[in-house]
A and B are shown apart, each in its own frame.
Chain A
Amino acid sequence: MSDEPLLKVENLKTQFFTEEGTVRAVDGISFEVNEGEIVGLVGESGAGKSVATSSIMRLVEDPGEIVGGTVTYKGKKIVDFEEGPDGELRQSPEMLSNEEMRKQIRGKEIAIIFQDPMEALNPVFKVGGQLREFIEINRNVSSEQAEEIAVDMLREVGIPEPEKRYDSYPHQFSGGMRQRVLIAMALACEPDLIIADEPTTALDVTVEGQIIDLVEDLQEKYGTSFIWVTHDLGVVAEITDRVNVMYLGEIIEQADVEDLFYNTKHPYTDALLDSIPRPDQSVGELKPITGVMPEAINPPSGCRFHTRCPEARTVCKEVHPTHEDVSDALESSHRVSCLKYENVGYDEAEPLDTEATDAFGGGLVEARGEEQ
């Protein structure tokens, strides 16, 4: 176990250049993944989680483009931008080329599990063949060896009669089984980092539980690191070691999972936790977060969450918070982007009139960034 993190993301920025404007989908996020760690990436739909993971794999498609930041994996620069002579950011020569990404990183070092197992498998090819092909590409083995590994892997993920199932087609599997196949694919290539992009969202809750147990077992056995993307805090609590909470393209809180739940610092995270219905408590009414996440084309000024924050003050509309470490004595690093913890006059400022501070049940109000 070395001290260097396996994956280090620094100030990653990805934008989409559309007709309506530039979408700042990922606007400067930084986090780390250490060996053997499961790191959660949490947020609502639209927060930019999938774009972030696509960026790490360098699989962002037109009209999207990675425009800044550095991503280092085992010392190699997956993304590296430097400042050119004209002040503009451009790709540094150290950044891996697309060919290098393809041959060295994708599948071999970093693998990805997609959200929708229905769509992720090619319907016209046998499942075993698809598995074998990926194994062949990413590990130095012959075709026959790859087939053996594939069958073994299918067995590992709990698919009964793996030799027979090897010759089956995707539509002959149920959803949960298909997701197991995708997990098998990822593990079979023996990467050191697996990105799981909402792997259980499309599944039944019971199946979800099985998959999570499976992943935990496998992770213990192989020691692979994970980035687990989800919007489900329950899953986060169960499986992750550290958590990054994303909102509108930014990471607004980062902590070990227990610290996040018991020593929440950011109002957004607080609100998320509050909104979860709990089976051990009955409440008069549920407390959803008011409003809808604004679009990333024109994010709100200052702190991006101020339009829905129950603790917003006037200063929150003006100053953009910096991401700082506010860990208490016994915690490991706990970072937050909130003016409450900065010296910019939050305490003195007046409370802000937002949808959240307004009466309850504000209705479906879409907050745009042009508040005057």
Chain B
Amino acid sequence: MAETSTRTEADDAGPEQPEARVGWRYTLTQVRRDPTALAGLVLIAFMTVVALIGFVDGVVFDFLSEYAVFADMGVRQYWLAETVWVNPATDPANARILRPPVGLTNPYYPNEPGTMAHPLGTDHRGRDILARLFYGTRIAITVGIVSTGIAMFLGTFVGAVAGYYGGWIDDALMRGSETLYAIPFLVLVIAFMTAFGRNLTYAMIGVGIATIPTFARLIRSRVLSVREEDYVEAARAAGVRDRNIIMRHVIPNSFAPVLVQATLQVGVNILIIAGLSFLGYGAQPPTPSWGQMLNNSRDYMLPNPWFSIWPGIAILITVVGFNLVGDGLRDALDPRINN
């Protein structure tokens, strides 16, 4: 049926090319141009450095301080050391252990302001808060990334299988993840941890597993749309095996939204695990995690409210960082081209 329209060579170019994988260079340029995303990267970089310092102190120094030669030099694990300012045995008001930040005073002891030795103050056992925050950063970032990683890999697998094969496999997996979703997240993980162990490792695993549905659903919808693309059919017609099709075509094309989700999810998971620690289901004392520090601070809100403030700010900075980067990535990878 002849169509009387104007034809140009553009129409003769041949079948449409598959949706191009968004180039990394292009994405990076977009992100580089976006000031808020850059700010987010700065924050994350900052926190990573802090985490590294925490790692050095918590692990390296801890290891080295075992040896007399280093201990004599003054190498010691800073965050754990209980630098008790006043002997609680002789001073019944152990509120004095809680030093306020530099320049401020504890309302019970107005004559003893905070000093630079403990710039953010000390906690209820005399330990320096700043040092504990440093260590907590490492925990938070590690835990956020590992749990997201677990969810991402397993979720991608589940979602890819469900989306590609469809049928009853799809139904079963989707119903399964929906039911998993129906039980409150926190409750699920707490039950998991009560069953297996109340420490950080199981927190990571538990949160990771509970986050699988998010990624599964994402990948599944991407797979469903990519599956219909011509080049996938062409590959199948050419005899390429299903597994290879998934690995080589489907997953790379679905990567962009997954990356965005993963970045945002790290932030979310940090919040969740902070909540778990707050309830006592995370890092066990004396390991400092931010949530746990906040839990401890509850009993001391009057003498030293600052104890409650700093860990929250640390969480805030870190999560804001991940959110900014995630948002920036999402904007950069948005295929919609503005005029």
Contacts and interface: CB of A to CB of B under 8 A. Distances in A.
A364 B6 contact: no
A363 B14 CA distance: 11
A124 interface: no
A276 B2 CA distance: 9
B6 A44 contact: yes
Contact of A272 (B1, B6, B9, B339): B6
A231 interface: yes
A234 B5 contact: yes
Interface in A46-76: 63-64
Given A16-B339, A18-B339, A278 B2 contact: yes
Contact of A290 (B2, B3, B5, B9): B9
A275 B6 contact: yes
B243 to A, nearest CB: 36
Contacts of B12: 288
Interface in A262-279: 272, 275-279
B4 interface: yes
Contacts of B11: 288
A1 interface: no
B9 A292 contact: yes
B7 interface: yes
Interface residues of A, number: 29
B13 interface: yes
Contacts of B1: 205
Contacts of A235: 4
B17 to A, nearest CB: 12
Given A205-B3, A279-B2, A288 B8 contact: yes
Contact of A276 (B6, B10, B13, B339): B6
Given A16-B339, A18-B339, A44 B8 contact: yes
Contacts of A18: 339
Given A16-B339, A18-B339, A276 B5 contact: yes
Contacts of A205: 1, 3
Contacts of B3: 205, 232, 234, 277
Contacts of A364: 9-10, 13
Contacts of B2: 277-279
B5 to A, nearest CB: 5
B332 to A, nearest CB: 15
Nearest to A276: B4
B56 to A, nearest CB: 44
B5 A363 contact: no
Interface in A161-206: 205
B3 to A, nearest CB: 7
A231 B12 CA distance: 17
A47 B5 CA distance: 15
B5 A288 contact: no
Interface in B1-59: 1-13
Contacts of B5: 231-234, 276
B164 to A, nearest CB: 29
Output the residue of B3, B7, B12 with the most chain A CB within 10 A. Answer: B7
Nearest to A236: B4
Nearest to A238: B4
8 contacts: A233-B5, A275-B6, A276-B5, A277-B7, A288-B12, A290-B9, A292-B10, A364-B10
Interface of A: 16, 18, 42, 44, 63-64, 205, 231-235, 237, 272, 275-279, 286, 288-293, 362-364
Interface of B: 1-13, 339
Given A272-B6, A362-B9, 16 more contacts: A42-B6, A205-B1, A205-B3, A232-B5, A233-B4, A233-B5, A233-B6, A234-B3, A276-B7, A277-B7, A278-B2, A289-B7, A291-B8, A292-B10, A363-B9, A364-B13
